[in-house]
Amino acid sequence: SAEPPHPIQIWPDDFAARYRAAGHWRNETFGAWLRERATAHPDRPAVIGGDQRWTYAELDRRAGALAAGFLDAGLQPGDRVLVHLPNVPDFIAVVMGLFRAGLIPVYALPAHRITEIEHFAQGSGARAYVAAAAHAGFDYTALARELQARQARVEHVWIAGPTASTPGATTAAEPAADPFPRLSALYAADGSAVPASASQGSDVAFLQISGGSTGLSKLIPRTHDDYIYTLRESARICGLDADTVFLGALPIAHNFPMSSPGFLGTLYAGGRVVLSPSPDPESCFALVERERVTVTSLVPPLLLQWLDRAPASGRDLGSLRAIQVGGAKLSAEIARRVRPTLGATLQQVFGMAEGLVNYTRLDDPDELIIHTQGRPISPDDEILILDDEGRPVEPGQTGHLLTRGPYTIRAYHDNPSANARAFTEDGYYRTGDVVRMTPEGYLEVQGRAGDHINRAGEKISAEEIEDHLLSHPQVFDAAVVSVPDEYLGERSCAFIIPKGDRPRPADLKRWIRARGIADFKVPDQIVFVDAFASTAAMKISRKALRAQLRAQLLEQE
């Protein structure tokens, strides 16, 4: 075909040369380092989940087999493959297999549904889709059929067997109700002839999904060089080594549990990864006790649950050394409870799939650990804090965070209009976050400029949900805003001006869900109004309107 084999990632030559000279980019690749680890310590445990326990040699063998299987099926290096899997060992084998073959994973969250998956398929030009048969009561094979009906380009579908969390489940072929080939069949392929890596460090390794501050999620191209740099440094900053046991509690398709340092950083450091099929504290505590977990990553609402339920759980959580919390702002009151309750050091993590990641360091004074969201990974992370006019604020003042550096993207995949908004001419990424910097150089997140809702760490675009609401026949206009929520951090509230008869909120929610979007995007609250504040509403920006409605709601509460 006339298309380039894969999306092209461009850092200007002088920057790339600088990052290489500094030793950040070392031309390492995922396929090659996995092979190195598997050769150096083949029998060490690598991945544990359900009834599976894989050593490094086993993970490497499976990655090779999948690489061979994907290529034998006709996929070609550079092709994009949608990965839609929960926290099961197959997830890790699949992405490692894709890396090895030079195929490009596109990560979707288990909560995503057909509308989002189709959007990712379309945007990435994906030729294949890999999903679980079912997870948390949802049938992904039905989604796969729908996807192929809508996007003929998605020629290949592979279905991962019954999730290994089902007691007594095996990976042997089950009688299949759907026509799709099983992933388990690919594991039988002989991958020994597949090179350890088909890629170079500068190649795009995968497409990650953005939180989508405006409009729909965008695709984030990350290279082997830039991502492996964050793994290496994150592992060092978080003190990971061969004794590390990382628990994947959040969905590991998220950038945080994937890479900060996450399951990839843990494998990079030679540690072991334990996967929990569900983030609920009881499942996680049982795994912490059984596998002697040393570190995990949580979002604030999940941390709250851990803090509330740990004391009476009857589980031995004494192996935990660090609890990382990120994705949304953690309050100081909750931060303070971590060490006394869980006996582990809190590490705040403020990161983004586009790049920049900040950590509090494990040996920082409590003051910084409790009150700040950390400082950047790299000495070459450039930070700007600007006022509304784009001028640098005085030291210690609050402003808009912009950044560029050795692992922050310069552009989204194939999206000129988003790129024009999100990046400055000299290559800084506008994070949309409002921050201040402490005298120690640590960042405190104060809020955000964009109009997304950060619901327990899941980002929801107000615009995206408004568009879904607006297509309902009884909705004349809609504005979606974030409202502070004691437990979720923020929840979503949809203000609706009805057209004719007022729809019932439950019907509206059901209807939104039926549009085929992730459940976390369904508005938590619906408020009907006759009109938006003033006649001027039509003239003011959506952003101002949302601010006005949010203020109105908070006043009433």
Interacting residue ranges for ligand J2J, rule: CB under 6 A: 211, 255-256, 259-260, 326-329, 348-353, 357, 373, 431, 433, 445, 448, 454, 457, 459
Please report, for residues 14, 92, 252, 314, 325, the alpha-carbon distance to residue 280 in angstroms, rounded to integers and kept in the order given. Answer: 47, 21, 14, 15, 16
CA distance 533 to 157: 49
What is the per-residue DSSP string for 403-466? EE-TTS-SS-TT-HHHHHHHB-TTS-EEEEEEEEE-TTS-EEEEEESS-EEEETTEEEEHHHHH
CA distance 399 to 55: 47
Strand 272-275 and strand 45-49: pairing? parallel
209 near 217, Cβ under 8 Å?
Answer: yes
Residue 124 vs 259, nearer CB to ligand J2J: 259
Residue 255 vs 294, nearer CB to ligand J2J: 255
Residue 201 vs 374, nearer CB to ligand J2J: 374
Residue nearest to ligand J2J as judged by C-beta position: 351
What is the per-residue DSSP string for 196-246? S-S--TTSEEEEEEP--SSSS--EEEEEHHHHHHHHHHHHHHTT--TT-EE
Q: How many CA atoms lie within 13 A of 25 on its CB side?
A: 23
Shortest spacing between CB 133 and ligand J2J, in angstroms: 27
Where does 102-182 have alpha helices with state H? 114-124, 140-150
Residue 165 vs 255, nearer CB to ligand J2J: 255
CA distance 466 to 83: 27
Q: Would you give the DSSP letter of residue 342?
A: H
Nearest to 266 by CA among 30, 31, 46: 46
Residue 208 vs 244, nearer CB to ligand J2J: 208
Please report, for residues 120, 188, 325, 367, the alpha-carbon distance to residue 360 in angstroms, rounded to integers and kept in the order given. Answer: 33, 44, 10, 10
Residue 69 vs 212, nearer CB to ligand J2J: 212
CA distance 539 to 546: 13
- Ramachandran region, residue 78 (left: φ > 0; alpha: ψ -120 to 50; beta: rest): left
Shortest spacing between CB 537 and ligand J2J, in angstroms: 27
Residue 180 vs 256, nearer CB to ligand J2J: 256
CA distance 490 to 385: 24
Specify the amino acid at residue 63: A
Shortest spacing between CB 100 and ligand J2J, in angstroms: 23
Residue 69 vs 450, nearer CB to ligand J2J: 450
Residue 189 vs 483, nearer CB to ligand J2J: 483
CA distance 12 to 410: 9
Question: C-alpha angle with apex 231: 227 to 234, nearest 5 degrees?
Answer: 130
With a CB cutoff of 8 Å and minimum separation 6, the contacts of 164 are: 49, 50, 51, 52, 88, 89, 171
Residue 259 vs 408, nearer CB to ligand J2J: 259
Residue 158 vs 227, nearer CB to ligand J2J: 227
